[in-house]
Structure 1
Amino acid sequence: MDRTYPVESLTDLGSQALQAVDVPVDEARLTAEALVEADRRGIASHGLLRLPLYVAAIRAGGIRPRPELRWIRTQGATAVLDADSGLGQVAMAAATDRVADLAAEHGAGVVAVQHSTHYGAGAYWTDRLAARGMIGVVTSTTGPSVTPFGGVEKILGTNPLTLAAPSSDGAALTADMATSAGAYGKVVAARNEGREIPAGWAVDATGRPTTDAESALAGALLPFGGPKGSAIAVLLEAFSASLTTANYAFQTEDIWANNASQMNTGHLVLALDTAAFTSREHTEHRVAELQQRIRGAAAPGQQAFAPGDLEHANTGRNRETVPLASSTVGQLEDLLGSLGLPDDLIPDPAD
């Protein structure tokens, strides 16, 4: 059963856990805020569930706590960032700031990132771009977990895709999704909580469909949308890795499997400055018009949602407190013990 905990206390817990393994204060706070924000959105697969993994990877050498980020190439509206195997959140903070500056100067900006790691929920980064009046696109490689349509071998990652447009409605129009039928973190969460996963998400090691989370992790996830979704996942793999020296998923050993693996994850971040086209106000009002029309398309007695509406509603509902699964709380308790941190960093439930 999920119980709710204060947002600020959970953010402090995450920050102190990362500082305990030598992550600088500002970077630890940024990463903790991004994880807790995912929980607030209702995306527990990318929230504090990931914190023990990050800490284990830092301790084992898979993630460097104090990376030396380097801009290794700049040309016009483009740039390439080497993240030195640091936390993906640290790399993406630099990448989104740079791409927004490039877009403000040139009308559009593109940043490719190599030698990075998992960056959390993509909407956290496109929100930063939307707040500056930018249309944002973010994608990434991951560890191998997905087989292409018709396959059984893990060739692709979950290859997340996040798209966002700023809106005068108050919340960006946002789609944040894995290109697998289900997110890898959701399968991990299902295994941890003893739940089955939906049919159509995965095959076992022999290629047979399965709803058992453990068998899915031993087998492979499936792309969404059959051959069409598989094609999109393949192209996102190419976009995220081929512009740099980043690894493809099939070249990667995931830190879930080996905490010492330096995954060399690749990200691609694109931004369009709406002011370079008509005006920021024009685009934001046009996007809001579309959102409102989508919501108004519901059948009688039903409700229609524009992309991002449910996550924005969760964020508003979880403004002060956030629900955590008991399995995640147990893992956080174990983590604090392993770091020699006081267990009272886990606050009393608010409910």
Structure 2
Amino acid sequence: MLVSEPELRTFTQNIFLAMGCSEAHAVLAADVLLKSDLRGIDSHGVARLSGYIRLWEKQRINPTPDIKIVHETATTATVDADAGLGLVVAPFAMRVAIEKAKAYGSGWVSVRNSNHFGIAGYHALMAVEQDMIGFAMTNASPLVAPTFSNERLLGTNPMCYAFPAGKYPPVIVDMATSAAANGKLEIAQRSGKQVPEGWIQNQQGQFTTDPHALKSGGSLLPLGSDHEHGSHKGFGLSATVDILSGVLSGANYGPWVPPFVSFLEPPMNPPGKGIGHFLGAMRVDGFRPADEFKADMDNWIQRFKSASTVDPTQHVIIPGEPELEAELDRMQNGIPLVDAVAKDLNELAVKLGVKTLQ
């Protein structure tokens, strides 16, 4: 099913309004999800809507949160999200970081008591628009086993770094710290396909290509897949995200992070509040004139794009380049939805009294 961007945006806003969100929050939440679908990151876009509704029905998402700063210095802050949508909370926190960066050169904000915040790139790009370097990360449902373990203790824990450029689009390094994001397993499940070896292990710690293995006690693997291929590095990156997002903010961390996936129940006796995020902004002109930096970024991009390649039909892909190409295409030609997602969304619409997708 191919849906135009305006139709899918209106549909998504109406779903959030049906949850009881304010118009401003519905518009913002829809914008975050649509950015994901437009950029080709289908695992984190409107396919997540049914998950938000499920958590709202369980009263784990507050549609009218009192989002506030609970601890603050000149350059740092901690935000309590009041169980609000991470799609709304993370932009609030990034705006705080940006304002602090405008005044003092950099701003750093940790968030607790939140929920799933969509793609990290959306929030990091807010800083880029101000000639700043943006940082965004979050912990997530415990689905990943650390190196040498078969116990799910960490989330896919994405991190994003975004750098402004001049004539070229910004460089956006937006990635999970696991070998693959859980959303990619869900895409494989919907399409009835297996996943590559090295993404997931079964309960006995053996590689499997079954995308349903998590539901039978399996776990995702850290970036690197196994120790011989550097999974300890992925584990270290994931741990960094978990500590900055969860331990630093007072959110939950490790196996206590409340799950977004339906087959896990919230753990007993959690040490913190909700899911945690960490966002930051640094003024480029705190280091050198922004125009000079962006000119050198253009030179950096151009040099890497012109690198010799093993296969002459291929070229070096700059981080963020495929997503931009997808966005330009989908804005013009529409956003593809697989049948399972389209069916799920229309069932959701009927349930909530919202106009279905055509």
TM-score (norm 2): 0.92
Name the structure 2 match of 1:273.
Answer: 283
Match of 1:163 among 161, 164, 173: 161
1:309 alignment counterpart:
321
1-structure distance, mates of 2:298, 2:9: 32
Q: Secondary structure at the match of 1:318?
A: helix
Corresponding residue of 1:66: 64
Q: CA RMSD in A?
A: 1.6
Tell me if 1:338 matches 2:351: yes
Indicate the residue corresponding to 1:324 in structure 2: 337
CA–CA distance in structure 1, aligned partners of residues 148 and 215 of structure 2: 18
Q: Following the alignment from structure 2 to structure 1, what is the Cα–Cα distance between the partners of residues 36 and 318?
A: 19
- Corresponding residue of 1:52: 50
Give yes or no for the alignment of 1:121 onto 2:119: yes
Number of residue equivalences = 343
8 A Cα contact 1:108 1:271, kept in partner: yes
* CA–CA separation in structure 1 for the residues paired with 2:265 and 2:355: 26
Q: Contact conserved, 1:96 with 1:128, CA < 8 A, in 2?
A: yes
- Give the C-alpha shift of residue 217 in structure 1: 4.1
Task: Note closer, same or farther for the CA distance 1:217–1:173 as it changes in structure 2 (3 Å cut).
Answer: farther
For residue 96 of structure 1, the aligned residue among 94, 99, 109 is 94
Tell me if the contact between 1:88 and 1:116 (Cα under 8 Å) persists in the aligned partners.
Answer: yes
In the alignment, which residue of structure 1 is the partner of 2:305? 295
Contact 1:123 1:174 in 2 (8 A): yes
Q: Distance in 1 between matches of 2:202 and 2:171?
A: 36
C-alpha separation in 2, matches of 1:74 and 1:258: 37
Give the alignment partner of residue 253 of structure 2, picking from 245, 248, 259.
248
Deviations 1:288-346 (Å, cap 9, x if unpaired)? 11111111003233221111111111111111321111111011011111112232xx1
**Which range is displaced more, 191-200 or 154-163?**
191-200
TM-score, scaled relative to structure 1: 0.94
Counterpart of 1:332, as a letter, is L
- Give the whole-Å Cα distance in 1 for the aligned partners of 2:323 and 2:92: 25
- 1:238 equivalent in structure 2: 243
- More deviation in 297-306 or 122-131? 297-306
Identity across aligned pairs (percent)? Answer: 29
Amino acid at match of 1:180: S
6-15 or 32-41: which moved more? 32-41
Partner of 1:208: 206
Residues 275, 32 of structure 1: alpha-carbon distance in 2 compared, 3 angstrom cutoff: same
Query: CA 1:149–1:104 in 2, change beyond 3 Å: closer, same or farther?
Result: same
2:220 equivalent to 1:221: yes
- Greater relative CO, 1 or 2 (CA 8 Å, sep 6+): 1
Q: Which amino acid aligns with 2:256?
A: Q
